[in-house]
A and B are shown apart, each in its own frame.
Chain A
Amino acid sequence: MSRARRIRAEVTAGWHSFLRRRTAVFFTFFFPVILVVIFGALVRTQPTDGGLFAEPGAYYIPGYLATVVLFTPLSRIGSEIARHRDGNRFEKLATTPLTRGEWLLAQTIVNIAIIGIACVLILGLVLAITDATIAPSIGLLWLGPLVVLGVVLFCGFGAILGRVSETQDGVIAASNTIALPLLFLSDTFIPLSLLPEWFVPAIELSPLTYFSRGVRAVTYPPAGDTLVPAIAILAGLAAVFFLAGAYAIPRTE
């Protein structure tokens, strides 16, 4: 009961803090919208010629969802840690019963709520303005756990970034530097067939790859049944990154 109360208090504070930063709210949702509009509606490719964006629209759904599942936790958690350090908030929290794991869990819950809403909006936008179609099926319910696991994973990653970066500027720079290549080299927007053979094994090293494959398995039937291995690996990585992230959160100055 005490633990639930502590986490609820941290979630409430984090949720209010986020909602009251209107620019943060706006760009959290606007950034993926821009990508959907540019890559899904503006960029034209002749499918017979191959190349970028030559696959059917539904193929790219994992990429669009990945923009928020990847970027938002990395930058938000990292920045939050930097803000906490600047304001000596961790020093204060270290003398309260709140643990590092509880703090990260609460921040993760806030991110799950934000990103969950963003994913629904993105999915609707993709279906509305691109040629993507999704056949209704019970399997689509797996999108929820996939998004949750992806957010947990990258919240942990963001906590590690926040620990190693000393300032908010540093966090933003580091998260962009890491997230941008991950976004395009994780079996998201670029099919493996367009990459050099020697590079393909490196794709397996990206945690985002398993999110992408899991989402594609339930939204793009031609991808084949890769859901179980993808979600299993994603769950394992989420647990490892969350624990590492919780450990990385500073408790002393």
Chain B
Amino acid sequence: MEHALVAEGIRREYDGTIAVDGVSLSVDRGEIFGLIGPNGAGKTTLIRALTGTTDAEGSVTLLGDAADAVDDARIGLLPQSFSPPDRLTPRELIDYYGDLYDDRRDTDAVLEDVGLTEAAETWYENLSGGQKRRACVGITLVNDPELLFLDEPTTGIDPAGRRSLWRLLESLADRGRTIFLTSHSMTEVQRLADRVGLIQAGSIVAVGEPTDLIAKHGGSSRLVIGTAEAVIEAAKTAIEAAGFDAAGGLEAVVVENVSPVEISAIVEAIEAAGIEYGSLTWTEPTLEDVYLELTGEAFEGVGTPGAGAIDRDGDAVDVSAEEGSA
């Protein structure tokens, strides 16, 4: 497949501190590529290097042309923490940025795309956080770019607004647009990205499809049964008798390699043994586990899909930091 983006040996140093250290990567046309890492990992500097908004060593090819020769109209950039003139309305902002290009999309179509038709005449400063980010994404879409760079596009947006933006990005990808996305939300990248790059201290530590990375580096799914320390050994025995490997922990029994459909068998085993438990937490490996495995550092971003907990009455009691699902 033809590449939309090819970067080789990107390096950027600020006052002796290396922000991006020899990054090489490629993104295929029509692909959503998610770059994930904690704050300060080098995500924004890398986007700036790729879009030519900072000086960096190395070479970048965008849509087949050198980065400094590619037609601006084919590229769209949403910078991190971008804030347009705040006393213009979304309609005026779309018109303003749209008129910077020879060929531009219809204002109403862009407003509809980002769900701001009803708020089209409200000053930017009076929009909600989610509406503001959607307006910014709309500004990025005015020239109907083939390649979009979105630097943390959903930061500060409420969950509903975030999902709405995700759907928009997915529809853009469906229409053949290439999206290079940075985020510190594992949930976001895991949902959106065809491929993921994990960045740590300016270096890419892994690139691949989320499912492949998780399968290779994420470990196994696990069920954690919260119970009194006095009955842990009895619980282990009951679970092992049901055919599962169990290990004791602090006021908990941990069962590895458990699929969702096997949870009921384990619960029945401990209940049949008359053992009371306080909670059940089932987790499947995520990109966060991959990051921990590959870097040795706990990820301090947000969002870990795949974690859920149920109390003995069957009610959900604990989910991931953001919006994971059981």
Contacts and interface: CB of A to CB of B under 8 A. Distances in A.
Partners in one complex: yes
Nearest to A17: B85
Interface string B84-100: 11011000100111111
Given A88-B83, A95-B72, A95-B77, A252 B55 contact: yes
Interface residues of B, number: 33
Interface in B77-120: 77-85, 87-88, 92, 95-102
Contact of B96 (A12, A86, A87, A251): A12
Nearest to A20: B87
Contact of A92 (B79, B88, B101): B79
Interface residues of A, number: 27
Given A6-B100, A13-B96, A253-B54, A95 B76 contact: yes
A17 B54 CA distance: 28
A88 B72 CA distance: 17
Contact of B100 (A16, A21, A96, A252): A96
Main secondary structure of the interface of A (DSSP, over half): helix
B46 to A, nearest CB: 13
Nearest to B45: A253
B100 A98 contact: yes
B51 A95 contact: yes
A91 B80 CA distance: 10
Main secondary structure of the interface of B (DSSP, over half): loop
A252 B54 contact: yes
Contacts of B87: 16-17, 20-21
A2 interface: yes
Contacts of A17: 85, 87-88
Interface of B: 48, 51-55, 72-73, 75-85, 87-88, 92, 95-102, 123, 139, 143
11 contacts: A8-B99, A21-B87, A87-B81, A88-B80, A89-B82, A91-B53, A93-B100, A95-B76, A96-B101, A97-B73, A252-B53
Given A17-B87, A91-B82, 19 more contacts: A2-B102, A8-B99, A13-B88, A13-B92, A16-B92, A20-B123, A88-B83, A91-B48, A91-B77, A92-B78, A94-B51, A94-B52, A95-B72, A96-B100, A97-B101, A98-B100, A252-B53, A252-B55, A253-B54
